[in-house]
Structure 1
Amino acid sequence: MQLIIEHLSKRYPNGVHALNDVSLTIPNGMYGLLGQNGAGKSTLMRTLATLQDADSGTVMLDDLNVLTQKDDVRRVLGYLPQEFGVYPKVSATDLLDHLAILKGITNGRERSELVKALLNRVNLYDHRKKAVSSYSGGMKQRFGIAQALIGNPKLIIVDEPTAGLDPGERNRFYNLLSEIGENVIVILSTHIVQDVMELCNNMAIIHKGRVLYSGSPQASVDKLKGKIWEKSIPKTELATYQQNYTVISNKLVAGKPLVHVFSETDPGEGFQTAQPDLEDVFFSTIEHSNTVAA
């Protein structure tokens, strides 16, 4: 199973070029789509989920044309949007049963067994009689995965799934996604680099509607070895460092900015070499793109 996206573009009426000649090949397994808010991730996700049209380009899920065979695609699609509504007083069992009917599962016994199996899989069976609206954020996300799994989908799309989850729920969600991603295509759209590093064998970085990188997260980190340098500086000197160096990120550590700069050689001035991570890849890739565009 492969999802092949070629030269996909989308411009909104307000002039925003949300997708600009996007081409990606996405295999079975967990695939991370990493980008800042407004980068074009959600536009791409909605297009792949058959919820909006592209201006140009093609998307093929094996032999299915995602842009023209929408009904066929929906039969093999599971989708967990960033935010999804639920009926206020409907239990998890009843809501999943209703959604299974909408997905075409009309046999009552088959549907009942499916609902039970899905609730067990996402560890919500003991809470099956509770209204989904009363669930915690993590429980709602697990319910969202349960509904996305109805019909044994070949393609699952999850948009910003761990935003707002506490560490325990986030880890449970990680484990669940990893298990699901063993046999189908799971596209994880997020701005949280840790999600991609921990879950995905392949990834893409998207910025201002363009794909800036696609490949292995670890390979992208390896390319930065010996090129990331860090230094703790006074707050008053941050602007000066940003003018004189390629500062890709800074964060407060013990009340002082710890800056990371990109440099092919030792920048001197007390900088120490830093072990790069996916966050450095993300920020350095975007910084390079902004510099080239300027």
Structure 2
Amino acid sequence: MGLQISNLNKTYSNGVQALKNVSLDIPSGMFGLLGPNGAGKSSLMRTLATLQQADSGTVTLGDIDVLNNKEQVRKILGYLPQEFGVYPKISSYNMLNHIASLKGVSNKAERKDLVESLLNKTNLWQFRNKSLGTYSGGMKQRFGIAQALIGDPKLIIVDEPTAGLDPAERVRFHNLLSEIGENTIVILSTHIVEDISNLCNNMAIICLGEVVAKGNPIVLTEGIKGRIWKKTIEKAELNNYQEEFQVISTYLKSGKTVIHVLSDNQPEASFQASTANLEDVYFSEITTRMNTVSA
């Protein structure tokens, strides 16, 4: 079962066009959606999760018309939004049991087996009787995945799932998502390039509501091979370099500013060749799109 998105558009009442002719073909497995804050990622996720209506376009999940058969979609959908609330005084066991009941798992024995399986899968079994209000950020995210897995979903959407997690929790969460993505469509929406690089075989970059790049991360990176150059400069020199070259990113190293420039040829003798990575792909696409809009 695949997810096909064709010419999807969404404009809010304040005039902001959040989605502009978005078209994607998403197969089973982990699919990364990468973009800066305000790019349209959450608007796309909310539309796919049947929480808002698109203005135009089509979305099909297998043979299901997602935009016109919301109830059918919700039966096979798991959704972990960027921010979700929990009842702080209820244990994870009781909360999952309640959610499973709401999702139609009426048989008590089946529900018990399901809840226990999910708690073990998300490594929360030993904390099953603790109230959700005592959970760490990572534990709450794992609980969020547990509730999203109820009902054996065919499509799972996770929006900025690792934001705020410490490194150990982030690794555990990555491992869990990878396991889930073996047999399910999992859409990972994030602005963290490393998450996409580590987890996804397919991805898209979205900026200002438009898809500006899509494909396999390795193939996309190969596309800018030999075109990334770096140089260490003084911070006060940055504006001059931005005016003269296509600076796609900057970062600090030992108190100095390091710039990455996209160029088919060595910009000048003081620049060194830099091995291209997915972050360079991301920044080059975003910078190009932003420059086109401001031109």
Same fold (TM over 0.5): yes
Residue 267 of structure 2 aligns to a residue whose secondary structure is coil
CA distances 1:62-111 after superposition (whole Å, capped 9, x unpaired)? 10011010000000000000011011200000000010011110111100
Aligned pairs (5 A) from 1:98-117 = 98-117=98-117
Q: Equivalent residue for 1:50?
A: 50
Aligned to 2:195: 195
Aligned residue-pair number: 294
Alignment of 1:36-75 (within 5 A): 36-75=36-75
Distance 1:211 1:235 in 2: 32
- TM-score normalised by length of structure 1: 0.99
Task: Look up the match of 2:155.
Answer: 155
Q: List alignment gaps of at least 5 residues for structure 1.
A: none
- Equivalent residue of 1:38, what SS? coil
Partner of 2:260: 260
Residues 282-291 or 159-168, more deviating: 282-291
Tell me the SS of whatever aligns to 1:163. Answer: coil
Aligned to 1:89: 89
TM-score, length of structure 2 as denominator length: 0.99
Give the distance between the partners of 2:133 and 2:158, measured in 1 at CA: 20
More displaced stretch, 100-109 vs 284-293: 284-293
Q: Deviations over 1:208-235 (max 9, x none)?
A: 0000011001111111111000000011
Where do 4+ consecutive residues of structure 1 move more than 2 Å? 290-293
Aligned to 1:184: 184
Indicate the RMSD between aligned Cα atoms, in angstroms: 0.6
Where does residue 22 of structure 1 map in the other structure?
22
**SS of equivalent to 2:224:** coil
SS at match of 2:238: helix
Q: Deviations over 1:199-256 (max 9, x none)?
A: 0000000000000011001111111111000000011111111111100000010001
Structure 1 CA distance, aligned partners of 2:214 and 2:224?
Answer: 15
Partner residue of 1:172?
Answer: 172
Match of 2:287 in 1: 287
Distance 1:166 1:124 in 2: 17
How many Å apart are 1:292 and its aligned residue? 2.6
Q: Secondary structure at the match of 1:284?
A: helix
Name the SS for the 1:86 alignment partner.
coil
Q: Tell me the distance in 2 between the aligned counterparts of 1:225 and 1:192.
A: 21
Please state whether the residue corresponding to 2:73 is helix, strand or coil.
Answer: helix
Aligned-partner residue type, residue 106 of structure 2: T
Once the two structures are superposed, residues 4-59 of structure 1 have per-residue CA deviations (whole angstroms, 9 ceiling, x without a partner) of: 00000000010100000000000000000000000000000000000000000000
Q: Aligned with 2:129: secondary structure?
A: coil
**Unaligned runs of at least 5 residues, structure 2:** none
Partner of 2:12: 12
